[in-house]
Amino acid sequence: MKTKVILLCTMLFCALGGNVKAQAPDDCAATLSLFVEPAKAKNYEAALPHYEKVVNECPKYSLATYQYAERMFKHFIEKGDKTKVNDLIKSFQMRLQNFPAKTKEGDVLADIAQVKYDNDMGTKMEQFKAFDDAFKKDSESFTSPKSIYTYFSLGVDLQKEGQMDIQDVFNLYDTLIEKLENEENDLAKRLTPIIEKEDAGTALNSKEQKFKKAAETNLGAYSKVKGSVNGKLGILADCPNLIPMYERDFENKKNDVQWLKSSAGKLSAKDCDTPMFFKMVQQLHNLEPSAKSAYYLGKLADKDGNSSKALEYYNQAADLETNSNDKARVYYSIAENFRKKGSYGSARSYYLKQVEAKPSAGIAYLKIAQMIGSSSNSCGATPFEKRAINWKAAEFADKAARVDPSLASNARSAASSYRQRAPSKSDIFNAGMQGKTVSFSGCWVGGSVRVPNL
């Protein structure tokens, strides 16, 4: 009898259990909803109690878990609850673990490193290694301007404390400046056709407007970080420090091509007046004739006043160079060479080559604007046409401001100045030129401008 009762109870339990399981909703969906819905409404106090259940029972169910967890924990931390710092770090780690295909490793590891730095977790060296690990594992997605600066800043601080060699700091500087310039170039390249579309009078769609706003914001951020990185490097890379250091190390390093390239680059960038630069360049050219050595020889020839020889070396460098940022620098030097000779047409060609290699090179557009602005007396058949060329100069100055925030203020000021020199409303009315086109095909400037309607 006892056996029958036990058997009957077991059958009833299984039957009931089977019925409950069959009628149960999707538990993970329900649990996630309890967390996500209040988090969407930024009611993080209501969302928090459900977070642990989601990550414990359904860690792989939805990426939204970790996206909203990041916002939630940052909210609490910003409100002063530092106990949530470790929770934020853990949420980053769990996202990387559970959704690796939908997570940019370098980006998330940099976020973790930044959180540790912002909250003074670990030693300075440990903080640096966290950024270093993130960058080396996935430099492509390591794009945060703030984290790039923190990474470099820690390196400089460690060098000052005697924990890092100065050459390692210089190598890090070269790497991060190249990273920043590549990010700028990518944004400027994608932004340029949108600017040209807008300048042509065509309305941008919502997607283009959104990208334009974001790109201009990010270009500004990268420009500021470049300035901050250079500022942080400070006197470490000034001529009085560089020259004796390189003189000391030259004999031991003179057969190290990478050292010669980096060191000569530093002296060139700072325009250090020292025989050591000539020794480095000659040695580099002997060991490995390259775009870099040809470029430096061009600079030396320029400095000696031999512009023809300099141009020869610069053209060699341009032909050999494969790095787009460095190729842009060579084209700029060639353009400057022609500009100083008064060969504006040739100079413009090379400035535009510079922009082609480096779309964020606003200085090229500004230089073209300056050449155009100084050509008003030699372009145009009438006083109106001579002054109208200033509209063309303003166009190029505006482009400079848009692609390169570091010189935006100067470029906008220049554009305003050019427009003030252009024909006034009364000039346009008296000449009957409103809405008409003025061509500059008779001089090096070429192209045309459309006279504003009154």
- Residue for token digits 């372009």? 379
Last residue of a domain, one of 184, 219, 235: 235
Residues 209 and 253 in one domain: no
Q: What angle do CA 71, 75, 77 make, to 5 degrees?
A: 120
Query: How would residue 9 be classed by pLDDT, with cut points 50, 70 and 90?
Result: very low
**354 and 388 share one domain:** yes
- Give 3's contacts (C-beta < 8 A, 6+ positions apart): none
Structure tokens at 1: 């009898």
Output the pLDDT for position 26. Answer: 66
Both 314 and 181 in one domain: the answer is no
pLDDT at position 15 over 80: no
Over range 443-451, report the average pLDDT: 91
Given a cut of 70, whether residue 269 has pLDDT beyond it is yes
CATH at 319: 1.25.40.10
Note whether 106 and 247 are same-domain residues: no
The mean pLDDT of the chain is 90
pLDDT over threshold 90, residue 182: yes
- Dig out the tokens for 27 from the structure: 């538990």
CB atoms within 10 A of CB 285: 17
Reading phi first (left if > 0) and then psi (alpha if -120 to 50, else beta), residue 335 is in alpha
Residue with tokens 């353009």: 335
Q: Determine contact, residues 450/435, Cβ cutoff 8 Å.
A: yes
How far apart, in whole angstroms, are the C-alpha atoms of residue 353 and residue 332? 8
120 secondary structure, DSSP code: T
Tell me, what's the pLDDT at 13? 40
The Cα–Cα gap between 191 and 211 comes to: 8
Task: Report whether pLDDT(100) > 50.
Answer: yes
Judging by beta carbons within 10 Å of its beta carbon (0-12, 13-18, 19+), is residue 19 exposed, middle or buried? exposed
126, 242: one domain:
no
**Number of structural domains the chain divides into:** 2
Closest CA to 140 of 101, 107, 165, 169: 107
Percent of the chain whose predicted confidence (pLDDT) is above 70: 94
**Is 3 contained in some domain?**
no
231 and 241 belong to one structural domain: no
In a domain, 92, yes or no: yes
Q: pLDDT digits over 311-329, tens only?
A: 999 999 999 999 999 999 9
Is there a single domain that holds both residue 230 and residue 242? no
Q: What is the pTM (predicted TM-score) of this model? A: 0.76
The answer to the question of residue 20 being in a domain is no
Q: Are the CB atoms for 379 and 363 separated by under 8 Å?
A: no
Classify residue 315: in a domain, yes or no: yes
Domain boundary among 235, 270, 294: 235
Residue type (1 letter), 242: L
- Cβ 412 vs Cβ 363: under 8 Å: no
Pick from 67, 286, 323: which is nearest to 179 by CA?
323
Question: Which of 1-5, 131-135, 283-287, 310-314 shows the lowest per-residue confidence on average (mean pLDDT)?
Answer: 1-5
* Three state DSSP letters for 159-189: HHCCCCCHHHHHHHHHHHHHHHHHHHHHHHH
Q: What is the pLDDT of residues 395-424, one digit of tens each?
A: 999 999 999 999 999 999 999 999 999 999
In terms of domains, do 381 and 422 share one? yes
Tokens of 338: 């022609």
Q: Is 338 in the same domain as 426?
A: yes
Signed CA dihedral, 163, 169, 171, 175: sign only? positive
pLDDT at 23 over 50: no
In a domain, 319, yes or no: yes
* 229 and 354 co-located in one domain: no
Domain co-membership, 255 together with 374: yes
| Domain co-membership, 254 together with 348 | yes
Q: Is residue 14 part of a domain?
A: no
Which residue, among 202, 192, 210, has the nearest Cα to 365 in the 3D structure? 192
Last residue of a domain, one of 202, 235, 268: 235
Give bridge partners of residue 450 from the DSSP assignment. Answer: 437
Q: What pLDDT digit, counting tens, does each position of 198-209 carry?
A: 888 899 999 999
Query: Is residue 441 very low, low, confident or very high in pLDDT (cuts 50, 70, 90)?
Result: confident
Mean pLDDT of 424-439: 92
> Does 15 map to a domain?
no
| Domain containing residue 272 | 236-450
| Residue 14 predicted with pLDDT over 70 | no
Q: Is 365 within the bounds of a domain?
A: yes
Chain segment 365-390, per-residue pLDDT in tens? 999 999 999 998 888 889 999 999 99
Q: Over 80: is that where the pLDDT of 435 sits?
A: yes
